[in-house]
Amino acid sequence: MLESPAVRSPRAFVPPLLPALAALACACGGPDQRPAEWAYIHAAIVVPSCASATCHSNGTRAGGLTFEDRAETHRSWLGEPYVSPGDPNSAILYLLEGRERDLMPPSAPLPPADIEFIRRWIVEGAAP
């Protein structure tokens, strides 16, 4: 499970532009220490990348699938099954990597680090 929230530092609210520009200058970033938890993956990757208005939103439901709700998305991913818990070659990864041409998202592929992040969650059991 995720840890309890830390006490919020005032520095967390520093205007984001300066650190962002500094990071662009070095284009750096460290090893992936994000929590391989479904709640985080859904909020940080699935919703902004997949649940856009013209794709898997409640309004469009491309292919009959909506990814806006966390629990419903988990059910549909495991129910199809796009995700087989423990299987590092789950179908969802074929889609995200475009291994058989049908890349998802089609015109804005996920960075490989995000795909590996999702693979880690699947290998660790794909818990909801």
Query: Hey, which residues between 5 and 24 contact another protein (CB under 8 A)?
Result: 5-6, 12-13, 15-21, 23-24
36 binds another protein (CB under 8 A): no
Applying CB under 8 A, which of residues 7, 10, 11, 30 lies at the interface with another protein? 30
Measured distance CA(123)–CA(119) in Å, rounded: 6
Q: Which is nearer to another protein, 65 or 123 (CB)?
A: 65
Spatial contact of 87 and 118, defined as CB atoms under 8 Å apart: no
Q: What residues from 46 to 75 belong to the interface with another protein (CB under 8 A)?
A: 47-48, 51-55, 57-66, 68, 72
- Judged by beta carbon, residue 39 or residue 123, the one nearer another protein is 39
Q: Is the peptide bond prior to 81 cis by the omega test (within 30 degrees of 0)?
A: yes
- Judged by CB under 8 A, which of 105, 120, 123, 128 binds another protein? 105
Among 74, 114, 119, 121, binds another protein (CB under 8 A): 114
Instruction: Quote the tokens at residue 125.
Output: 């059991």
Measured CA to CA, the distance from residue 82 to residue 92 in angstroms comes to 5
**Cβ atoms < 10 Å from Cβ of 125:** 10
